[in-house]
């Protein structure tokens, strides 16, 4: 009887942990910051990501676009206030960058976004800027090395 009760409790605990890990699977970001139950991640003091700002469909599309933007970067340029990511229009369209910006702006409202089409339409640029400390945050979240 005691073994049966222990097994039942162990089963309930295992099931509970599974539900928690599935339901809150994104509790830690790639850089190790923890999220609160509200879905807000505090990063670098004043910077936070609201992971509940997007619904499941929007999150899936945003993830797809993020992976594409990271993979198709032609060049990354450090600027005085942030970073610029450069793409060829054949690889990434202005519309895709704009779609990414709309979603990213919902979950990370502290970014200032700049989209440019330069060099007679042959260069798509996405510039991320913001307040003090934004460059360190961008490096952390986008896997960039500090200049130096």
pLDDT band at 49 (very low <50, low <70, confident <90, very high): confident
pLDDT at 3 > cutoff 60: no
Check the CA dihedral 140-77-67-40 and report its sign. positive
Residue 69 · residue 124 · CB < 8 Å: no
- pTM of the full structure: 0.70
Domains of the chain (ranges, CATH numbers): 51-142 (3.10.28)
Judging by DSSP bridges, how do beta strands 82-87 and 112-118 pair with one another?
unpaired
What per-residue confidence (pLDDT) applies to 147? 74
Judging by DSSP bridges, how do beta strands 82-87 and 123-129 pair with one another?
antiparallel
Q: Please state the rounded mean pLDDT for residues 72-82.
A: 97
């Amino acid at each position: 009887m005691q073994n049966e009760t222990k097994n039942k409790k162990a089963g309930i605990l295992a099931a509970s942990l599974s539900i928690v890990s599935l339901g809150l699977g994104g509790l830690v970001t790639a850089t190790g910051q923890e999220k609160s139950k509200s879905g807000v991640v505090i990063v670098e003091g004043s910077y936070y990501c609201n992971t509940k700002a997007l619904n499941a469909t929007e999150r899936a599309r945003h993830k797809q676009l993020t992976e594409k933007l990271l993979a198709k970067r032609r060049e990354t340029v450090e600027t005085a206030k942030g970073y610029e990511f450069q793409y060829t229009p054949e690889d990434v369209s202005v519309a895709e960058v704009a779609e990414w910006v709309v979603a990213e702006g919902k979950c990370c409202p502290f970014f200032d976004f700049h989209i440019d089409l330069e060099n007679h339409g042959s260069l798509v640029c996405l510039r991320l800027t913001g307040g003090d400390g934004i460059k360190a945050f961008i490096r952390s979240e986008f896997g960039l090395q500090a200049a130096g």
